[in-house]
Structure 1
Amino acid sequence: MRHCSVQVRGLLTRDELDRYNALMDVGHYLESQKQYELAQTVQKEIDRLILPAIERLKEKSRERDRRDEAFLREIERLRAGEDEDDE
């Protein structure tokens, strides 16, 4: 079974995390019983389960990018103001 990243797991809701952990347990059990085809089905369900958390992570990244861009524009604006004061 493939775990999702710590960042994605951190953005799962409590219900999603509970379901994720239960599915991982089932998947590990199936693998221990050499039921790989069934474990693959469980892995697909896990992959679907984590999609909303992946989207939340992407949105956090886009928000950070927007804040960085605004910060850089503000620095540029302040520098332009300093240049005008120097003249």
Structure 2
Amino acid sequence: MRHCSVQVRGLLTREELDRYNGLMEVGGFLEDQSKYDLAYIIQQEVDILILPAIERLKDKSRTRDREEQDYLASRQDGSAIDAD
């Protein structure tokens, strides 16, 4: 079973995280039993489950980029005023 990144796991809600941990446990058990065809189905469910957290991570990144652009623009405006 493939785990999602720590960043994505950190953005899962409590309910999503509980479901994620349960699915990973079941998937690991199925892999131990060499039931890879069933583990694949569990992995697909995990991939669907983490999509909202991935979107939250993307939104967080976009917000940070926007704030950085605003900061750089304000610094550049301040430099132009100081040069006068």
TM-score, normalisation: structure 2: 1.00
Aligned partner of 2:56 in structure 1 is: 56
Distance in 2 between residues matched to 1:80 and 1:37, nearest whole Å: 63
Post-superposition offset of 1:40: 0.2
1:8 aligns with 2:8: yes
- AA of the residue aligned to 2:73: R
Is residue 38 of structure 2 the alignment partner of residue 38 of structure 1?
Answer: yes
Segments of 5+ residues of structure 1 without an aligned counterpart are none
Partners of 1:10 and 1:74 lie apart in 2 by 32
Higher Cα radius of gyration:
1
Offset at residue 35 of structure 1 (A): 0.2
2:79 — aligned with what? 79
Secondary structure (helix, strand or coil) at the match of 2:4 reads coil
Q: Percent identity?
A: 61
Deviation at 1:71, TM superposition (A): 0.2
3-state SS, counterpart of residue 3 of structure 1? coil
Computed over aligned residues only, the root mean square deviation of the Cα atoms, in angstroms, reads 0.2
Q: For 1:16-59, what per-residue CA distance to the aligned partner results, in whole angstroms no more than 9, with x for missing partners?
A: 00000000000000000000000000000000000000000000
Task: Report the secondary structure of 1:61's partner residue.
Answer: helix
Give a deviation string over 1:54-79, Cα, whole Å, max 9, x none.
00000000000000000000000000
